[in-house]
Structure 1
């Protein structure tokens, strides 16, 4: 066991901490948004974690029926999309509208992706594509009103820099974006549209050059990143990819991308601790520690940071029936909170002012945020700690010392832990023998195992300085709440 020491001055100037990670969250594809269990889980994420927008693929795929060919003629039906928007608005959320993929009637080829066979070819006729977008957006304005639609975001396609998602060239994507953006703005110039929605933060400068040169409207820059290379383009397994990465690689990339965005709002519309929807640590405390560290390190660099995804109700490869199968979600199929869900719960409770924390350690990081809510005087502090290493990198149990100076005597302190023994439903499931199909009683038992527990934490207080000491297992996250 080694020691990690951190200090913070309560009287120092604070930096604002907007909850940019709560602006949006991702999901799989549009038809799943019509499922009752998907809707129940999203409602819970909105209420407990504060998410405001949701983004998913496939709004224009044939299985949603937006545009299909019937007896050789186009048949428009916006009913299913309307049902999704109606639900989102009913619970206080809004759509982050990803305009994908290609309706079969407009497609120039037959290349598809995913279990649900989404067509990824450019349109045969770009004017017909633009007419579809214009008709669809005009319908939504008529149904929901201009003021409502002006609060939405319209993103053109998904990861067009990857051949599995876009069978055309970069030039073809720019052409698609031009027709899409102009169609949207022709309906209402105040609607917000952006791109290039790329993987690995690519094409951003070329995209902005194109928009400036051709006078194409753009209101925001969107892109994606994961700490490993995109799975389909690397022969190594996910763990091998991550073993060659760095703990703060996403912060490094984000800082560089902030410059490339040239002052436009920067929205990351996908991120997670890996790009693999079957990566076991995504069900484990590792993902919680990774999320806390990554989000707090992104403060001041991004305007929106949309976690991919809120639920394991997900079928890009196939629909797994295993309760814990390494899915992307914050919640599993049954709505059981994974450790990463609890990390977002801890983050949601944070206030709006962040103080600088001094100290450094190879695997342990620390942050302090005060104020229970924006605009309310600071009456509590939350210390967040992570002990995190990437796969195949050394990590140990650590004794952590945190000293907070310039504070009045505390009224109470308590700690909440996420590690192998706390807030870890997968660990309890493994003790059950890893059943594939859960009984009602097992579901309730796993819900109980997933919950955060508040435990009193002793401290030392002298000369307006508060000191706490605690032990952190490997791959863990801790929240210490101090009430004054």
Structure 2
């Protein structure tokens, strides 16, 4: 059995669609950017997709070595700053066409008021002992970045204060008022460097997000604090179950998942001062754990395709967490396919979700159709591009047959399709069939890369009517990108393709 649906696109139709998938992408902590494999994965992502900004944790953690101190002649602790590693990281980002979405955190050990940490790499999540020391460091960093990269450029880098302070694991005791204090000191300090900097928060995740966002806006309003945008996170799975090194979970219904985001927009718009203010989702993915095998699957790619068709409706940006699998929140991964957040597996092997983003990057025209399984745009030259998906969240194993009618002219057309599904672009299954080797050889990596690409098909078509019919059969969890292009054939003198196929003299 298979599902069958028809799509009829009428001439002149235009549907709102805001494709902002390339504004920002997530990364592991900043210190990982010094790894060769990290740079190679990011280079692949930028060459094929191309994001504008990148956001990650750990800017002020000790492995970045920014915060240093010494005792003066009176025995007083004096802070000084070392920007050697920051420069290396920022230089590498800029060389790849990226600019940071600066997340200010976590707390340097020398400034921390406590010893609570998060993750394998022990990011300190306590408030500063002295808020003036914290703001002096933030200002010193911003002054340095302006001096090195130029005011015109750096003032375009968004700034976010901390990460998920509504969770006790990310902010000591999940203390709301203490976070508000951190935001106040930080926002005022940033604007003192230059009022043109854009700053926002509270970077909350689900659970207590409604309480936090409303209380945060009330605090900002009452204190008349700077605020240029709101930030939050979004994940779409139930609580995971742990087994060995891995955590397994199931996806939310897509519509139910998006209701959480609608609430945030409603809260923000309920304040006259903040109505219509930009909301940035600075992290999103299916699961929120970095060892969830779902991330490596074709289902993840299809579900992400559905999310990308909707996220731009009410959000200024939405940053996929993360671009690659050089990532260590729960320790160094044991295997290549370990359920990491990234769209690229270690060894620079694209996962299916990588292609979802690559396909969406091509949707730059006028939207003429958007539904639960498809989005289609028309380019200024009249050609079409579209993405189709068949996410099998309930594991029904049903294919989807799509019949699409598009306005056309009397002309020759070429239909190009690129298919990512569980048969033709599923490196996870190939790795499994190879015996799930923990440490891949050069030959194994090469084979996985060969398989981790879409299946490309081409078909010549002739339209003699005012509409043209195209059809696709999508296997479960397939994502298909297509282009329908008018062709003006101009054969060289004496050249006959048909004669070649028939073997004629």
TM-score, normalising length: structure 1: 0.91
1:34 maps onto 2:39 in alignment: no
Q: Distance in 2 between matches of 1:178 and 1:90?
A: 34
Aligned equivalents of 1:8 and 1:204: distance in 2? 41
Using the TM superposition, give the Cα deviation of residue 229 of structure 1 relative to its aligned residue in structure 2, in angstroms. Answer: 5.1
**Residue by residue, what CA displacement relative to the aligned partner does 1:416-461 show, whole Å, maximum 9, x if unpaired?**
2111112222222222111111111111111110112211357795
User: In structure 1, what is the Cα distance between the partners aligned to 2:458 and 2:445?
Assistant: 28
| Aligned 1:191-340 pairs, distance under 5 A | 191-200=197-206, 201-202=209-210, 203-228=212-237, 239-240=248-249, 242=251, 245-261=252-268, 262-340=275-353
Do the aligned partners of residues 198 and 408 (structure 1) sit closer, same or farther apart at CA in structure 2, a change above 3 Å counting? farther
Q: Does the residue aligned with 1:454 lie in a helix, a strand or coil?
A: strand
| Counterpart contact for 1:338–1:450, Cα < 8 Å | yes
Higher mean Cα deviation, 468-477 or 330-339? 468-477
Partner of 2:501: none
Give 1:126 deviation, angstroms.
1.6
List per-residue Cα deviations over 1:368-388 (Å, max 9, x = no partner). Answer: 1222xxxxx234212321111
In structure 2, the CA distance between the partners of 1:37 and 1:382, relative to structure 1 (3 Å rule), is same
Change (3 A) 1:321 1:458: farther
The CA distance in 1 between the partners of 2:249 and 2:87, in whole Å, is 43
- Listed as ranges, the gaps of 5+ residues in structure 2 are 72-76, 269-274, 487-505
1:107, CA displacement in angstroms? Answer: 1.0
1:153 to 154, 158, 179: 158
Q: Deviations over 1:241-296 (max 9, x none)?
A: 53xx2123343333332233331111101001111211112111111101111001
C-alpha change, 1:369 and 1:252, in structure 2 (3 Å) is farther
Q: Which residue of 2 aligns with 1:378?
A: 381
Verify: 1:170 aligned to 2:176, yes or no: yes
Structure 1 stretch displaced more, 327-336 or 62-71:
62-71
Q: Deviations over 1:8-51 (max 9, x none)?
A: 32523324544311000001101101112212221221221120
Gaps of 5+ in 1: 359-363, 372-376
1:190 aligns with 2:196: yes
The equivalent residue for 1:361 is none
Contact kept? 2:414, 2:460, Cα under 8 Å? no
**Structure 2 CA distance, aligned partners of 1:367 and 1:458?**
22
In 2, distance between residues paired with 1:85 and 1:408?
52
Distance in 2, Cα, partners of 1:435 & 1:158:
35
Give the Cα separation in 1 of the matches to 2:104 and 2:239. 22
Q: Distance in 1 between matches of 2:256 and 2:27?
A: 24
Larger gyration radius, structure 1 or structure 2: 2
Root mean square deviation, CA, Å: 2.2
Alignment partners' CA distance in 2, 1:108 and 1:255: 37
For residues 215 and 4 of structure 2, the distance between their equivalents in structure 1, rounded to whole angstroms, comes to 44
State the TM-score, normalizing by the size of structure 2: 0.87
Q: How many residues align?
A: 468
Query: 1 or 2 for the larger relative contact order (CA 8 Å, sep ≥6)?
Result: 1
15-24 or 344-353: bigger deviation? 15-24
Write the deviation string for residues 173-211 of structure 1: whole angstroms up to 9, x where unpaired: 010000000110000000111111111244222212211
In 1: Cα distance, 2:201 partner to 2:154 partner: 18
CA–CA separation in structure 2 for the residues paired with 1:86 and 1:409:
49
> What is the distance in 2 between the residues matched to 1:317 and 1:64?
19
- CA–CA separation in structure 2 for the residues paired with 1:299 and 1:410: 34
